[in-house]
């Protein structure tokens, strides 16, 4: 079943250091890593596109263990004007190759994932940024240090069971929705922000893997949790809280504001035309 995936409940943002085991009840906060604080969109030098890959070792609340390996290889960034309710904005998209493979490391237990009544069980690959950052702040206003935003780069449905000791390569679907066929990206409200947004997309601060499914609660202890004390309930339409996140690079599960290109945002976009390439 390939349907548009709508979010009406809080979603998750979490994090996990790549290639380190996740153990459900003994999570400690990892050390902070330095991040870029570049916010100026004036005369910025384009940064080389930087991909990311890694393997996360997952232990769910049912005692099942599995590895999630991902690979993200960006090739170029493109833009196009779109009309949102009579106001013209600019979509900024990343063309990239995506891969995700799941390996069942349980000795005796088969892995299965439960779809909801609306969408298939789905893993999402997110790029995340911390404010101050042009991508975040150009959309939600000047951010406080510690505010986070994210863009869903791709998503991967999983409908098959995975037997013990076997692996499954998942099929990538770029962007947020099966039925709005655009690459992963965001929206520039002000054209002057394009250089800063382009450089943010070239160098995410973090990469996260999310999960949507009726059994999402099985991952609630998959990594260190940071309580959401920053975002108000009125932000719920875009808020992704940490309770459904599976893994991400820096080891901290945290709430973030989703700035992905959503289906239905544009009333006059042609997915196949009108692009300008920035790379």
Residue 43 domain-assigned (yes or no): no
CA angle 195, 198, 201 (to 5 degrees): 150
Q: How far apart are the first and last CA of the chain?
A: 35
The CA distance from 153 to 73, in Å, is 11
The DSSP bridge pattern shows strands 256-258 and 245-248 to be: unpaired
Residue 188 domain-assigned (yes or no): yes
Residue 35 domain-assigned (yes or no): no
For residue 269, the model assigns a pLDDT of: 53
For residue 22, the model assigns a pLDDT of: 38
For residue 71, the model assigns a pLDDT of: 97
For residue 273, the model assigns a pLDDT of: 63
**CB-count exposure of residue 6 (10 Å: 0-12, 13-18, 19+):** exposed
Residue 101 domain-assigned (yes or no): yes
For residue 54, the model assigns a pLDDT of: 94
Q: How many domains does the chain have?
A: 1
For residue 14, the model assigns a pLDDT of: 34
Contact 25, 59 (CB under 8 A): no
What is the pTM (predicted TM-score) of this model?
0.81
Residue 41 domain-assigned (yes or no): no
Domain that holds residue 159: 54-277
For residue 39, the model assigns a pLDDT of: 47
For residue 108, the model assigns a pLDDT of: 94
Residue 45 domain-assigned (yes or no): no
Residue 42 domain-assigned (yes or no): no
Residue 111 domain-assigned (yes or no): yes
For residue 26, the model assigns a pLDDT of: 44
Mean pLDDT by 10 residues, the chain (279 residues): 38 34 45 50 78 92 92 94 78 95 96 92 94 76 76 95 97 87 85 90 93 88 73 63 76 83 58 77
For residue 28, the model assigns a pLDDT of: 56
Contact 183, 95 (CB under 8 A): yes
């Amino acid at each position: 079943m390939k349907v548009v995936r709508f979010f009406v409940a809080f979603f998750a943002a979490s994090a996990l250091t790549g290639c380190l085991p996740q153990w459900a009840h003994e999570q400690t906060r990892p050390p902070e890593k330095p991040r870029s604080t570049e916010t100026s969109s004036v005369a910025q030098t384009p940064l080389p596109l930087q991909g990311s890959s890694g393997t996360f070792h997952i232990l769910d609340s049912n005692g099942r263990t599995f590895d999630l390996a991902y690979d993200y290889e960006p090739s170029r960034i493109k833009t196009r004007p779109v009309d949102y309710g009579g106001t013209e904005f600019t979509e900024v998209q990343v063309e990239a190759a995506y891969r995700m493979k799941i390996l069942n490391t349980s000795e005796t237990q088969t892995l299965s994932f439960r779809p909801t009544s609306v969408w298939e069980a789905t893993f999402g690959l997110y790029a995340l940024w911390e404010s101050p950052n042009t991508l975040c702040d150009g959309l939600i206003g000047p951010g406080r240090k510690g505010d986070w935003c994210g863009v869903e780069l791709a998503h991967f449905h999983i409908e098959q069971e995975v037997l013990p000791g076997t692996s499954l390569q998942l099929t990538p679907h770029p962007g947020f929705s099966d039925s709005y066929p655009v690459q992963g990206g965001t929206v520039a409200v002000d054209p002057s922000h394009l250089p800063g947004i382009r450089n943010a997309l070239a160098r995410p601060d973090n990469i996260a893997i999310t999960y949507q499914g009726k059994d999402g609660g099985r991952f609630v202890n998959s990594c260190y949790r940071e309580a959401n004390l920053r975002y108000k309930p009125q932000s719920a339409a875009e808020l992704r809280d940490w309770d459904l996140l599976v893994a991400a690079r820096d080891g901290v599960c945290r709430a973030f504001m989703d700035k992905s290109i959503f289906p239905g945002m544009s009333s006059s976009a042609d997915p196949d035309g009108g692009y300008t390439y920035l790379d």
